[in-house]
Amino acid sequence: MLSFKWLTGLVCTAAALAQTPSPSPVVLELFTSEGCSSCVSADALFTQIERGQVQWRGPMSVIPLGEHVDYWDSAEWRDRFSSPLFSSRQQDYGRAFRAQDVFTPQVVVNGQAQCIGSDLPCIQRAVQEASRAPQAAVAIRAGNGVDVVSVRVQNLPQGAGSVDVLLGITESGLGSNILGGENRGRRAIHTAVVRSLTQLSRLDPKKNGAYNADVQLNLNSRWDRRNLKLVVLVQDRTTRRILGAAASPVCVAGSGAC
């Protein structure tokens, strides 16, 4: 027979576990290119991460962002997902890390650590470390109207400087038959490809470090809505650290998720 004292302790422990908050999301940015032969293994690992096939130490929530740089593009092959925006973003990280040069494939974890894109142990360690850092409360949900989302940011971590609130749109289930360059003859599979990344607001924690607005989405008709996700990033402009994030699928009519 169980004693009443032991049962009480069990109930209290269960209640404490039920009230344990979910871990804050950790953002993984993969800088990659279809023109880079070393990126193939990193792209494959990123797909496993996006599908939840990678084990983390304890409960963990990760948000993958695939950002295709354009400096690998050549007359032989141009990556159709590449953009100078992502090359510039990677250079910003290089300056923050005081690196002599940037490289592909590179994974940047919450804007505060970098790993070779295929180095899973390094990524796992960086994710574990990033998950311990205090983060802002970020939420994204369906708003009033077609393709309108409500975005809320509050409780910036102490010590945060001026921050950007960014909205990214990613698409998974993409691929290319590569006809030139280092990966000639290969079929490239991509996940969480960033289709757009725009600034919603800039916050000053000394004034009003909060943001609450309805945002009208601008979705390209060629993107498959079933494979789209919205990602909100709160990023320190100076240190480049990501201080909070949230993700949500795009509303698909008839799916019951709208």
Question: Considering the domain boundaries, does residue 10 fall inside one?
Answer: no
What are the residues facing 190 on neighbouring strands?
174
pLDDT at 258 over 80: no
pLDDT at 10: 37
230: Cβ contacts below 8 Å, ≥ 6 apart: 140, 149, 167, 168, 169, 217, 247, 248, 249, 250
Question: Considering the domain boundaries, does residue 104 fall inside one?
Answer: yes
Question: Considering the domain boundaries, does residue 96 fall inside one?
Answer: yes
pLDDT at 20 over 50: no
Residue 196 binned pLDDT confidence (cut-offs 50, 70, 90): very high
Place of tokens 């360690």: 125
Q: How many domains does the chain have?
A: 1
Question: Considering the domain boundaries, does residue 12 fall inside one?
Answer: no
pLDDT at 18 over 60: no
Better-predicted residue by pLDDT, 145 or 9: 145
Question: Considering the domain boundaries, does residue 4 fall inside one?
Answer: no
Q: Provide DSSP, 169-210.
A: EEE-SEEEE--SSTTTT-EEEE-SEEEEEEEEEEE-TTT---
Question: Considering the domain boundaries, does residue 193 fall inside one?
Answer: yes
pLDDT at 3: 40
Give the range of the structural domain holding residue 217, as residue numbers without chain letter: 24-249
Question: Considering the domain boundaries, does residue 154 fall inside one?
Answer: yes
- Burial status of residue 57 (CB atoms within 10 A of its CB: 0-12, 13-18, 19 or more): exposed
Percent of the chain whose pLDDT exceeds 90: 79
Question: Considering the domain boundaries, does residue 31 fall inside one?
Answer: yes
The CATH number assigned to the domain holding 138 equals 2.60.40.10
The pLDDT mean for the chain works out to: 90
223: Cβ contacts below 8 Å, ≥ 6 apart: 169, 171, 195
Q: How many helices (H) and strands (E) are present in the chain, helices listed first?
A: 4, 13
Cα dist from 243 to 78, 99, 131, whole Å:
34, 22, 11
